[in-house]
Structure 1
Amino acid sequence: MSSITTLALCISAIPLAWAQHDALTLPASTVSAQAREQGSAPSGLSLDQPVSTGSRLDLTVRETPASVSVADRSVIEARGAVNTQDVINGMTGINASANPGYGGFVSYRGFTQNQITQLYNGINLGYSSATRPVDAWQIDRVELLGGPSSFLHGAGAVGGSINYISKLASREEQVLEGRLRYGRFDESELSLGFNQALADIGNSQHFLRLDLSRGDSNGYIDRNQRETGSLALSLLSDLTPNLSHTLALEYLEDREDSPYWGTPVLNTGGSSMKIDKRRRFENYNVGDGRYEQRVRWLRSITDYQWSPASSLRNTLYYYDAQRDYRNLENYRYNADNSLVERSGAYLQRHDQNVLGNRLELQHHHQLFGLASQWAAGLDYSRMRQTLHPQAGDAFDSVDPGQFDPGRFDDVPGMDVGLQKQRRHEIDTRALFLENHLQLTERLALLSGLRYDHLQMEVTNYGAVTPTSPAFFERRWEPLSGRIGLLYELTPTANLYAQYSTSADLPAGSLASATYSNVGLFDLSKGEQWEVGSKFDFLDGRAAATLALYQIVRRDFAARDSNDPNLTVQAGQQTSRGIELAGRLQVTPALLVEANYAYVDAEYDEFNEAVDGVSVARKGNRPINVPDSVANLWLSYSLSPVWEIGTDVRHVDSVYADNANTLKAPSYTLYGAFTRYRVDKRTTVTARLRNLTDEIYAKQAYGEQYYMGAPRSVDVSLDLRF
């Protein structure tokens, strides 16, 4: 944590500058604070809060003709989320996990990996390895948009978009808050945050926010320790009544010693994946395995309200990250399950940075006598990434219960150190336009269109071959859009229908794609039809949303089930599904919330090469896509100071290979909590997770089973002044 401490001291010396202003919208942090002070039950289904991920027009969840879910700060705290993965796993239809190689793995609406765009404050980093979970303390809210959204966030996002929105300075005069948490496996968290109004300078007002968090854990797998740390500083300045600016800086650290990559499954002759429960916590990585990540963010946000009907926002941003891997990643049992064969040594470094600027204009006026809202803008970014991959093959065979993990340098060929192999540079230029037109008192039309110009250049520093030239470049110019109708049945109930398209990157991520991935590929195309409804009932004590959809994705590259580092060309995939979410305030003391998603996802066309032979996978389900995902929460206030609750999560079985011959079983997790409010500023919460100590796979690939956490308990102390 010394680097975070040093950074904090450096940042404190930055001159007071500018900050964000929105004259029309109360900041989300203020809303959350008021909800906590008033003691209202936090809910993950609030239809009248504005969302930025579903539209650039500041529409509410109810006004957006699409499936939109929101987890604001009060929900994050009420459900005890430790990191962003915990947050999104509570959202409708999401199944997420975070083994080191797939740090931001998400399955949603039948799609996975880079087919789901993960944004940070609306910024697309274009690489799933950059979306590893971060401490939930830094997050103000998370928003989820279902289905294609290239028209909003750029190429990709055929399955949906997730937007992680950081805490920023707000106009609250003074807030001081903190958390101390400790649990099983020595899992600890120390977090602090404050928001402070500064002395006025002339006619300008300034507000400062600082957040710090530190997490440690010995891990539920042997020899797997993790440390995380984060620092965020933002300065908000109202320079004039119409002009304001936000300067926001963030620094994140993440380090794992001997990372856990999965547990080998037994050779049983059946399709169901099973592990040796006696080896449940065994770690087959080398003793000095390592994963490290250091991330720096800088954002400069300027808001100008030049008239009551028109506003302008400019966001200048810079992202810089370094990720290091040094691990032995693949394990499998021999034929009689007496030995574990270890292979897949991998040494890698990612040096990634993104520099970009987004200019957005909003305008409200009359069009043909009808109320109309416009959003238009320009988006530019340049992403550079240098890769240093070094891979090894078989290493050794060990007794699964008693072995020397060895050193990484003991693996043949792994003592040569980092060697630069490829440099990727991707320029993105985009023009976007969106409109909301009130056709009648009850009927509204929402439309959007985006043009992207993608320029990719790859320099190869390794051996030059026909499939790995010294240099190559590609250019794509996708056009994507959405059109949706929303009809208001009553002031509290509506129906909607929408059609949207996507332009998907051919290999999922241009940040690491090789010539064989993208050299001859055009962009993948996707389209979605969706209908749904959003409504309140029982005098506002209940709310629900319903969405039915079909997504078709064509001409894409799928991950090779035998080698996760390679992709294979596929033809077409179709996903059809239904999503339901609801809340019911049964009594003033009892709140029930639930969501459920079912998806029928299958390949319509897909021929996979197996030992040089083309094998049809038509009708098969994609890897790690469950049919159903469901969540349920119940909370009950025993008295003004005591609250208890329980939660249930169910995830259906998933396939671990394209042939659909290996299946990880379904699982159900139960949890419970007790919360005591010592006074209006102090709360103590005890939380039990995985109550039945279920053994389950959060993710499955090849012949490995990435196991979720066992039963654990933690206690947290929350303070707010």
Structure 2
Amino acid sequence: MTTRNTSLVLLFGACNFAWAQDATLNLPTSTINAVQEQPSGVLLDQPIKTGSRLGLTSRETPASVSVADRAIIEERGAKDTQDVINGMTGINASANPGYGGFVAYRGFTQNQITQLYNGIGMSYSSATRPVDAWIYDRVELIGGPSTFLYGAGAVGGSINYITQLASREEQSVEGRVRYGSYDASELSLGVNHALSDGPDPHHFARLDVSHTGSNGYMDRNERESTSTAFSLLSDLTPRLSHTLALEYQEDKEDSPYWGSPILNPVGDTMKIDKSRRFENYNVADSRYEQRVRWLRSILDFQVNETTSWQNTLYHYDAQRDYRNLENYRYNADNSQVSRFSAYLQRHDQQVDGNRFELRHDTQLFGLASQWSAGFDYSLNRQTLHPNSKFSSSPFDTINADSFDPGSFDDIPGVNGGLQKVRKHEVTTLAGFLENRLELTERLSLLTGLRYDHLHMEVTNYGAITPTSPRFFQRTWTPVTGRIGLVYALTPAANVYVQYSTAADPPAGSLASATFSQAQNADLTTGEQVEVGSKFDFLDGRGAATVAAYQIVREDFSVTDPNNINNTVQAGQQTSRGIEVAGKLHITPRLLAEANYAYVDAQYDDFTENVGGRPVSRKGNTPTNVPDQVANAWLSYEIDPAWQVGMDARYVASVYANNANTLKAPAYTLYGAFARFRLDAHTAITARVRNLTDEVYAKQAYGTLYYQGAPRTFEVAVDTRF
């Protein structure tokens, strides 16, 4: 490991030293209990929703699981869902306009990582842009294939964003006001309350509203976002309840920043001109907008002590609009910038579905057994309106330092308005079954199986050609599953092993696949073997997880080496890695947390068309996949009113192309905070991010270097009654 992440090594070393000194740390029982209640990112005994449908805890699940609950989200000052997941083990996420839901995890990226909202997938990575964190109760991550739970995709892992819902237990009003660098602001309110004053209320409501805005750290790049979530919980009978959940999200971004051009001559490492660090070469009236509406109707029925069911009826409606000039290149002496790739597009997407789940606890062969079974139905409709101009000739060439950004309307060929080109309809019918069998008091067997019937219909409204017919359809029927064993070495420590499989749609997404990508393509396949352990140590002051895995993805499309005009399903990628996460209360007031992931991801068989000839990329690493990602946090409670802390994040270098000839350098980010509690209800937090003002690329694609935020400061006031 390089010296740039020395702080992470030191933190792990501090944890190990404290462990070695166990005999000298004699803490009162009451103090230990209080420490254990403090927010922590390693949660082993909370029920999770993402790793299983059986209501198991992380400790009981034979898979690597990371959880950020509401306490962690607030403790770390996460502003949006991207901030939340970047604190999870092995995740590297960014959100440039073209890849709004980009995630790299376990050697895989984009649609190979499933992102869910309350267990519901959009099957399209552009639908997973960051959302203000205020409305979410928790975010959960499960590593490796999880198609058997959520349908096609998820060869690398699944991320589940879970919205706050009305609760019977907590009657509260909470709010936040935040202001920081570049006029970054937040005004948020949350209310959870019973709708009657009687001793036994039957109706409960929750409302969460968040409005954020910023002038942006890049020139002319302004953003405004509103997120609203409302839910109504009604106890219809002592055993039957209904939850109505509504959400609305709106993002507006002026002059979206697409990246910075790299300097010539181009070597093996991407470099930008730091004197032009904040230049934005998009046109003045460029735009990104998104409007999202969610509706869920959830019925919960407790049949008896051992049997329950849940039915979720849902509707999703989204419209995403893009109007940008997206690609920029320097001339030979880096004095001028040529601008390419005009892009005007709208995505209209609707998803309607119903999910039914049945839970039953029973005896099987005299052994305790838990069952979950059910079915999924969904209809995913997306209409694409592209109007783009991609050519080898630039739209214009401007002075790199002093320029008029111009107007999108001046770009010939794309100023004629939106054009409806294709409509995709993907119907999913699925049945699933999951079981946990307690073979002994210490050994449990978990199995899961899912059958999907995927039917895609595509209507073409554009020019009719042999490769773009008026209408085409395809059907796939994958079967995927998982089998795992969990063995409790002690009540506080276990080991597990699992094998799981995945099915991955051609082109990564059926919601946008073209005729050539889907008509003759089978689903790609993936399989994983994982072993790991989850344990507490030092009488509960510490907890840790460790996992090692191998994932093989096969049969994805590559250039036919015998005919460069064709593609064949012969691609293969292997990822091998380890993940470690831990927390330790070094003293009752000093808490250390850290996670570290290493992955060796490479193509075993991959050919691409380069200048009209086939070129093998065997042995190369996929683009934007760092081989190391690490996070660390250290917090200290000076007294009940004051708390301070620091954090560090290390991301290794990534390749910007499949040839692995160009890479973005590794980086380390540091942060710090101080919190003062005015009273039991209100706290003021001052925070600095990117303490050293590191210049770094959150993502690299082609010859564009997508910068992360510079050093920023903020102050937030949180109150709760």
Q: Give the TM-score band, short-chain normalised.
A: over 0.9
CA drift of 1:336 comes to 2.7
CA drift of 1:516 comes to 1.6
**Cα distance change on mapping 1:110 and 1:38 into 2, 3 Å:** closer
TM-score, structure 1 normalization: 0.93
| Cα distance in structure 2, aligned partners of 1:146 and 1:301 | 27
Match of 1:402 in 2: 402
SS at match of 2:43: coil
Match of 2:173 in 1: 176
CA drift of 1:567 comes to 9.9
Match of 2:279 in 1: 282
**Cα distance change on mapping 1:357 and 1:623 into 2, 3 Å:** same
Match of 1:587 in 2: 587
**Residue identity in the other structure for 2:544:** A
Match of 1:320 in 2: 317
Check whether the contact 2:35–2:588 (CA below 8 A) recurs between aligned residues. no
Check whether the contact 2:176–2:188 (CA below 8 A) recurs between aligned residues. yes
Match of 1:30 in 2: none
| Cα distance in structure 2, aligned partners of 1:205 and 1:618 | 62
Does the alignment pair 1:135 with 2:126?
no
Check whether the contact 2:207–2:231 (CA below 8 A) recurs between aligned residues. yes
Match of 2:355 in 1: 358
Structure 2 unaligned spans of 5+: 1-31, 561-565
Does the alignment pair 1:614 with 2:611?
no
SS at match of 1:87: helix
Check whether the contact 1:172–1:195 (CA below 8 A) recurs between aligned residues. no
SS at match of 1:97: strand
SS at match of 2:152: coil
Match of 1:578 in 2: 578
Check whether the contact 2:36–2:541 (CA below 8 A) recurs between aligned residues. no
Match of 1:121 in 2: 118
| Cα distance in structure 2, aligned partners of 1:352 and 1:616 | 37
> Which sits farther off after the overlay, 506-515 or 679-688?
506-515
Check whether the contact 2:500–2:527 (CA below 8 A) recurs between aligned residues. yes
Instruction: Map 1:284-683; keep pairs closer than 5 Å.
Output: 284-393=281-390, 394-557=394-557, 571-683=571-683
| Cα distance in structure 2, aligned partners of 1:607 and 1:569 | 11
Does the alignment pair 1:703 with 2:703?
yes
CA drift of 1:173 comes to 5.0
| Cα distance in structure 1, aligned partners of 2:526 and 2:257 | 35
**Residue identity in the other structure for 1:432:** F
CA drift of 1:341 comes to 1.0
**Residue identity in the other structure for 1:114:** N
| Cα distance in structure 1, aligned partners of 2:42 and 2:415 | 53
TM-score, structure 2 normalization: 0.93
Check whether the contact 1:172–1:197 (CA below 8 A) recurs between aligned residues. no
Check whether the contact 2:559–2:607 (CA below 8 A) recurs between aligned residues. no
**Residue identity in the other structure for 2:172:** V
CA drift of 1:231 comes to 1.1
Q: How many residues matched?
A: 682
| Cα distance in structure 2, aligned partners of 1:440 and 1:543 | 25
Question: Deviation string for 1:220-247 (max 9, x for gaps)?
Answer: 0000000000111100111111110100
Match of 1:13 in 2: none
Check whether the contact 2:35–2:585 (CA below 8 A) recurs between aligned residues. no
**Cα distance change on mapping 1:291 and 1:569 into 2, 3 Å:** farther
**Cα distance change on mapping 1:420 and 1:598 into 2, 3 Å:** same
Q: CA RMSD in A?
A: 1.8
Question: Deviation string for 1:553-599 (max 9, x for gaps)?
Answer: 00114799xxxxx9996610000000000000000100000000000
CA drift of 1:332 comes to 1.1
| Cα distance in structure 2, aligned partners of 1:229 and 1:696 | 28
Does the alignment pair 1:59 with 2:56?
yes
| Cα distance in structure 1, aligned partners of 2:628 and 2:367 | 42
Match of 1:83 in 2: 80
SS at match of 2:292: strand
Match of 1:185 in 2: 182
| Cα distance in structure 2, aligned partners of 1:538 and 1:435 | 33
SS at match of 1:462: coil
**Cα distance change on mapping 1:90 and 1:557 into 2, 3 Å:** farther
| Cα distance in structure 1, aligned partners of 2:35 and 2:589 | 14
| Cα distance in structure 1, aligned partners of 2:45 and 2:207 | 29
**Residue identity in the other structure for 2:627:** D
> Which of 88, 92, 106 is matched with 2:89 structurally?
92
CA drift of 1:269 comes to 3.9
Check whether the contact 1:203–1:240 (CA below 8 A) recurs between aligned residues. no
Q: Identity percentage over the alignment?
A: 71
| Cα distance in structure 1, aligned partners of 2:144 and 2:574 | 12
| Cα distance in structure 2, aligned partners of 1:569 and 1:292 | 36
> Which sits farther off after the overlay, 494-503 or 237-246?
237-246
Match of 1:270 in 2: 267
